[in-house]
Each structure stands twice: as C-alpha cells, then as structure tokens.
Chain A
C-alpha cells in the first residue's frame, strides 16, 4: 500500500483524489463512519465549495461530490473502518466489518477532523439531563435521522457554526430561546447576525456565561451569569446546543507519537503539512479546529503534493523552527517553518486570536530580528486572519523559535 489517508471528510477525500491525480499508485482512504463526506454530510445549509470546487453547494451535495471525485480518480475507500492502533514503529491496525488487519504504507495523511467540545469538557455544572447536545449531534438528529428535537433551545456560542445551529433548530421545529457568548460581541458576519435577529427574533446575550443546567430527565432551565455584574438569570428551555469550541480529533496523532502544537491541539506541521514523523502528513481540521470545508479540502490537496513527492523518493528533512503565539493570539498554522519547504496551503498562514482586536499591529520575530510587521486587519475570535508568507525566507534555520505577537491594538 502506498498511501493511507485516515478520514474521508473534505480534507481526506481531496487529498486522496490529488494523490491519484499525481499518479500515486495505491491510495486507500479509511473512514470510520458508514458513509464518506465528513461533517458536510449533515451540514445542510448552502455555501460549500466556493473556494475549491468554484460552485455553491449544500453540505450533503458537497460531500457527495467529493466522494464521487475520489471514486472516479480510482481511490480505494473503506468505510466503517477505524484505525484502532498505531504506536511508534508499528504499522496501522485497521478494524472493520471485514476483520482486523495491519498495513504498512509508505506515507500516511491524517485527516481526522475536529469536533466541538461537549458540555462536560467545558465544565458546566448542574444536572445531566437529556437535551444537551453539540451542533454536530443536532445536525445528525435533524438531517440524518429525522428525529424530533426539543421545542426551545439555548445556543451556546455565537460563531458561524452557532448561527448554522439556529438554521438546524428551525428546520427541526425548535425555537431558539437565545444565544449566549462570554465574548463582548458575536463572531459571525454582521449580515448573518442581523438575519437571525430578524428572522427568528433570537436574543443574543453577550458577556454572559452559561453557569448551570437544571432539569430531569430533560433540561428545564439554565442559569446565565453576567460576567461584568455577576447577576444571574434563568432561561427556560428544553435543549442546550453547545457550538464551536473546536478541538482536533487528535487521538491518533497522539497515539502515533507525533509532536503536538500547544496552541492548536493538533499535530505540529510545517508548510508542507509534514508532521514530526517521517512520511506522516496531516491536513484539514485535525490541524487546528474548524475552518470551512473548502479550506480543509485545499489543505488536503496541499498535503497530497508533499506526500506524492515523498513516496516518489524525496528525502525527509528534519523539522524546521517552531512558531509560537503570544496571548491574546491563540494559534498559528502551520506552526513550524523551514524556508526550503515552500509555501503553506493557500500561500498563507492562518492565525486565530482569543480576543477582538480592531486594527491590530502584529509582529513576527525571531530572536532579536523582526521578520514581519504589519496590520492584517481586525481579529475576531473563532475566525481566521490570514498572514502572508514572504517573511519565511528570512527565518534562520539555526535560530530560536519564531514568535508572533500583538504589538499594538490599533
């Protein structure tokens, strides 16, 4: 087996298709779900495919399109198959209805995606009733299983995905009791927020934390706490949807002993999306929590280029210099730099901030040198700010870590 791609979401399918386009002989995609396509399978709204397929599609149509492309390209897809073992120096162990087997590919592309942190990981106290979900579960219940959800839901979070949860709730026949975010503003587009306010009259509570969930056997009410005044209020609802707060599904990466990036919680990669283990690449949202599907797919294409070259015999260089973010900057991806490894996906570095910053001035530094200094535009938590890549040419491979810092706030 030449290349194994783990995960048949947009990143994995795009990577596999690209590998075949580059004449890589055997490409096997393993997918633990029963159908390929990843998260878009159950994200029924429009807006997929703009940056990669150059056409607007719904999530399910987008997922089908990528599955078709991969199949036509001659990719072998194995669904209901999970990588259940992969420690250092050992082959991949696959488990599926066909049984258990081990394979030793020449290269691996990890495209295992990400998930939303559930209520427990966010340490929200209270009872443990029915009706507490993530957007992912909500979408699957409504679109894949056509099951009834509650009547009145609180949406935790105010990012793009939180507004998509509103759509799903409406589709499932539930009203939104409100949206709550600990941040001072929502983090989606003004138009999206205005649309939701107009269409469903959803109140948006900012600088408020969800501090308790009550009810049994189903959610009955939640407690919200004003982060500035400390005042609390209760909101009656029978459903709580935890949105965003993404974490890469990184178990396999950790199991494989890959070096991890503290900011992204994903495997550390350089601009060719190479991980710390020879022949192992990573692409899409396993690198850093959720980007849009088309961005993940383009990242898959990018990783495939490196993987195709590697299986043709190019040597594996050691990793470059790490890039670190200083608060309030949260993470940057790729997070290793070696100027010989070429441009990052889409010729840009993706940066996230934990805070809103209007007109920030950012600096990229190495030791005492300033590699870049610029004003990339407003920083919004949960949204990516792109940084250029030309500065990577002046990184000293023998120097200290590269640091990205907020020099001033406008």
Chain B
C-alpha cells in the first residue's frame, strides 16, 4: 500500500545551497519542505566564510565545481541586484611575493582561460602600489582578476529562503533529521523531533553532515573532514587601507591568506585552513590568530594597527575528493549535494539550477507555477547603497527608521522590528545580527546588547 506523502521534495539543510535549491524548486508546481537542524537558515558554514563573489577563475578546469561556480557567479550577480543582496565588485589582485609564486602565474592564467573567466591582466609593480598603496613593500608581481567581488553571506541564504517561503515552501527550523527510511513504492520517511515527514524526493544539502545522511541511505562515497577557517575582521576605520580583494597565490601547500574589504565596510584577514575532528569545532585558536596576524603583518602591516572588531571561525565541508559530491539517482529519487567547500556561496544558484535539471531528468515533474514569482526585497545591509538611516523620505514616513539602536553599525529600531516579524523572523541574537548587522560592530554590544535582548524577549513572548 502506498503511504500518503506530505511533500514532493524534502531538502535537508538550509545553508546557502539548500536554500537556493528550495528557491529554485518553488518556482514549479511542487510541494517543497526545507528542513534545518539549527535554529535558523544560513547559520552554519554559510555565515562564516570569506564572502567572496567568486568567478571561479582558479577552479580545476573541467570539474563540476568550475562549471557551477561560473554559472552561479552570473546568476547570483543578477539576482543580488534584483532583490537587494549587497554586492561590491571590487576586483581582486593576486600578489606574488617570491619567485615560486611568480612562477605560478602562467598556470593560473591558463586555468582562468579554461574556466571562461577571461584573460587575467598582469600589473606592473608601479600600478600595483598605485592601486594598493598600503601593501607591504617587496611584492614581485600581480595579476588582476577584475570580476571578483564581495557578496553578503548573510542576506544571500536569507533571500533564497524568504523567496521560497513566500512561494509556499514549508520551512522547518530546529528540525534535525534523526532517521531516514525508504517507503514502499518510492519516497522517504524522515524522522525529526517534531514528527515524521514523508517525501517523494529527497535532496541532501546537509553540508558538514551530508556524508552522514548519505550513509544513512546506504551509500559510502565520501567523508566530510571539516576544514576550519579562522578570520579576523578589522574596524571600519581600516577600510580606506584596502581597495581590492588582495589574494595570495595558491601554492601546492596552501591557498594562502587574503585581505579584503567586506560589504559591511570592514576589512577581513584570513582564512586559516586546518582539518579538525569535530563538526562543531568552530573555535578560534591562539595559534590561528597568531598565524593570521603574522600574515597580515607581512602583507599589509598598517592593518594591524587597527582595532579588531570580530574573530570567527567556520568549517568548510571538505572531502577526500577534488570536486563537489553531487549526484542524482533516478530510481532512488535522491539527490546528494555534498562536499560543497568554500565555493558554495558563489555557486549556490548554479548548483540549484543543476540539481533542478537533474531531478527533472530523474522524473520530477517540473510544471512552472502560474503567475508571477513573489515580489519581495531584502532589507539592505551593505555599504554601497542607502541604508534606512540615510533615507530621509523613509524616516518621514516611519520615524523608527531614524532611531538608531546599534550605533556602530547604524541599525535602526525599524529594521530591528522588521527582522522580528515577516516570513522569516529572527529567533535569536545571531539571527538578528545576520538580518540587520545589529551587534556586529566595534563595540560588540557594549551599547545595544541589553536593548536587543529585551526586544528579542518581547518578540518571543
């Protein structure tokens, strides 16, 4: 006997990849359920990374990753503009500090050509120092990757999830999948603390735990070894020091440490890359911070004279394989979207499109939804466009947009209020921070933490 199904597609994991897939599938006549173990979307690997909008110039040519990063770059760039995700197209400079690094340039340029990222221009030293005057002396050469940029790692998954929810996706937060069973006649039964869910199709976008879910389904294809990246975020007063993303030349040993502006107007230094045992080990370490400061001193010594605003560590879902672990099994109605390492943010929409095509080929009926997609716009939290406190006409309509609550990041009472309601409300301080920037600044809550806690309490009750 066939069991009745609750949903057509269950997506496990609401990181940037899971949210992008949910958004993609809700454009069709499908019941979509997005399950997230944590309290919020985009709150794991997706929130703690270098936040680059990456062309994919240095990906290994011919890999799925290379193709999907390039595709995702185009799609996200366009989407970001449409829905209000902060993007800054700063371009990147790849700087060589010795002969060995200089010798890598031809291969890097070949890769970029093969990946369709175009011709990378070599800069002479005079131009390099004109464009990055605070760079340490001693650079040997540089190439420019004009297309590289920054994208907000917080707004991106929130935008996908918001659109998906508005289009009818059923989002269940704090719903870890504890068991998976195959249903007779096809489909899956997923156990969660909040009850069972029976789904016709299953998408595994469980990130760091994608290997575990894959094994629960009887496969044994890859193992995720969390690779920890620690980052230091410097005060906004350091922002004038750096104009581009300053990349290190990747060598066989390390991908190196970069210095880049952030869309919030800070300067970021990192990441480290250490394989760790635990999938929860997002602790920063003395060794990691010392290493980053050493690298910072080598690349841009003046940066270290500035105050540090934040330190964080994220885990990339690295596997023993070079490429993404992405496959769709037609008979099984199962899509595994695992092993998405550091490029997931840039590739997310490319991955989602690819998964949708593959699921369609596997028999998922893809009937476009009638009517227009949901009209929505994300609260703008970047530095390039106008924030609410800067918009006189908005304050005139609603004075709460003139009441600045978080002084360091200039977040207004109106924005806090908005983040606590709507289709995807914040449920905790971290969620509020990722939606508004509140508490993200140099005082780290000295002035606003008590007020924010009181607001969260009121919203929760």
The answer on a CB contact under 8 Å between B450 and A147 is: yes
Closest to B404 in A: A82
Most chain A CB atoms below 10 A, which of B237, B284, B390, B444: B444
As a 0/1 sequence over residues 222 to 233 of chain B, the CB contacts with chain A under 8 angstroms (1 = contact) are 000000000000
Does B79 lie at the interface of the complex (its beta carbon under 8 Å from any beta carbon of A)? no
Measured CA separation A96–B405 after assembly (Å): 11
Contacting pair B445 A100 (CB below 8 A)? no
Closest to A140 in B: B450
Give the distance in Å from the alpha carbon of A280 to the alpha carbon of B407 in the complex: 22
Residue contact A115 to B443, C-beta cutoff 8 Å: yes
Contact status B404-A121, CB under 8 Å: no
List B393-450 residues whose CB lies under 8 Å from chain A.
395-396, 399-400, 402-404, 407, 410, 429, 442-447, 449-450
Q: Which of A148-191 contact B (CB under 8 A)?
A: none
- Is B396 a contact of A99 with CB atoms below 8 Å? yes
Q: Is A377 an interface residue (CB 8 A)?
A: no
Are B309 and A120 in contact, with the CB atoms below 8 A? yes
Does B97 lie at the interface of the complex (its beta carbon under 8 Å from any beta carbon of A)?
Answer: no
Query: Is B282 part of the binding interface, using a Cβ–Cβ cutoff of 8 Å?
Result: yes
Tell me whether B453 and A145 are in contact (CB under 8 A).
Answer: yes
Interface segment, one of A129-137, A267-275, A311-319, A321-329 = A129-137
In the complex, number of A-B residue pairs with CB atoms less than 8 Å apart: 109
A97 to B285: give the CA distance in the assembly, Å: 43
Do B311 and A125 have beta carbons less than 8 Å apart? Answer: yes
Residues of B within 8 A of A145 (CB): 450-451, 453-454
Is the CB–CB distance between A126 and B283 below 8 Å?
A: yes
Q: Does A128 contact B (CB under 8 A)?
A: yes
Whether B158 is near chain A, meaning CB under 8 Å from some CB there, is: no
In the complex, what residues of A have CB within 8 A of residue B237's CB? 251, 254
B449 to chain A, nearest CB (A): 5
Write the nearest CB–CB distance from A382 to chain B, whole angstroms.
18
Evaluate contact between B312 and A99: CB separation under 8 angstroms.
Answer: no
Interchain CA distance A410-B324 in the complex, whole Å: 68
> In the bound complex, how far is the Cα of B450 from the Cα of A82, in angstroms?
19
Q: In the complex, what distance in Å separates the CA atom of A80 from the CA atom of B405?
A: 8
A247 within 8 A of B: yes
Min Cβ gap A333→B in Å is 20
B275 within 8 Å of A by Cβ? no
Residue B337 CB within 8 A of the other chain: no
CB contact between A127 and one of B282, B289, B404 (< 8 Å): that residue: B282
21 pairs, A vs B, C-beta closer than 8 Å:
A80-B404, A82-B389, A82-B404, A95-B390, A95-B402, A97-B400, A97-B402, A99-B392, A116-B446, A118-B443, A118-B445, A120-B444, A121-B442, A121-B444, A123-B308, A125-B284, A126-B283, A136-B446, A140-B451, A211-B286, A247-B307
Beyond A80-B402, A99-B395, A211-B286, 9 additional pairs, beta carbon < 8 A: A33-B447, A82-B389, A115-B447, A118-B445, A123-B311, A134-B444, A137-B445, A147-B450, A147-B457
